Amino acid sequence: MLKKLLLSVLLCLPFLGYAQSYMTGNVFDNEQRNLALQGVSVRNLSTKAVVVTDKDGHYAIPAKNGDLIVYALMGYQTDTVYLVNLFPKNSYLRAAVNTLNPVNVTTTKVSPFLDTKDPEARPAKQVDYSKNRGGLRLNLGYGKYRRQQAKEQELEEAADINEEISKNFNREVIQKLVNYKAKDLDDYIGLYRPTVAQVRADKDFDYTYYIATTFTEWRKLPENERKLPSLPKLKAKP
């Protein structure tokens, strides 16, 4: 029995070794897309792990969604990617632009080709996002991206809460609970519909208790206060 148990543990060890998630990919030159870059430092800022690409530009680094991966190589611009998935991805580094010290020119021979525009020149993209590559290139700044993501997440959460409210606070649900089918029930729904802030503040929002208490409160109101006030009429422009 002990031997069987020991054998089972030994068989499980290889799988435990692979339990850690990895991100794999290849790094190429941005201009010569088929030129693999060897020796690129690939650093996970979240875990401090560092690997270097091989002769084929290939790498594998421990990572998870939400990590920041930095690619760096002498002569190329450093690139940063925020991971939204762990799909294998290709990364392309741009050659670094050298900044020369200013030089005072006293005489020069002007070439007639100086103002000639490159017909194949294309404007550089500030943000390069691809779901297949699983990352967002952070040329506009990681902070701005995080704020945008937080805002989008807040809007998505509000939409989910509104959907939950509509599902649990509607005419059919209320009629079954309070046994009230008069037409003015819509006035109660409009006046007492829970807000997103109310539901968000209470993780386990009790719709049954809320309906029971607020419906009783609504029924005690004077008739002229049982519905939302009418919207003011807009005056026609002369």
Look at residue 10 and tell me whether its pLDDT is greater than 50.
Answer: no
CB burial of residue 199 (10 Å; 0-12, 13-18, 19+)? buried
**CATH label of the domain that carries residue 29:** 2.60.40.1120
Predicted local distance difference test score (pLDDT) of residue 24: 94
Query: Is residue 133 domain-shared with residue 172, that is, in the same domain?
Result: no
Query: Is residue 87 domain-shared with residue 191, that is, in the same domain?
Result: no
Look at residue 9 and tell me whether its pLDDT is greater than 50.
Answer: no
Two tokens at 150?
A: 């937080």
Average pLDDT, the chain: 78
For the stretch 82-140, pLDDT in tens is 888 889 989 999 998 765 555 555 555 555 545 555 566 565 555 454 445 556 555 54
Please state, in angstroms and rounded to a whole number, the distance separating the CA atoms of residues 27 and 92: 6
Query: Is residue 135 domain-shared with residue 69, that is, in the same domain?
Result: yes
Query: Is residue 206 domain-shared with residue 165, that is, in the same domain?
Result: yes
Predicted local distance difference test score (pLDDT) of residue 15: 42
Query: Is residue 87 domain-shared with residue 136, that is, in the same domain?
Result: yes
Global pTM reads 0.39
- Provide, rounded to the nearest whole percent, the portion of the chain with pLDDT above 70: 68
Tell whether 1 is covered by a domain: no
Predicted local distance difference test score (pLDDT) of residue 94: 92
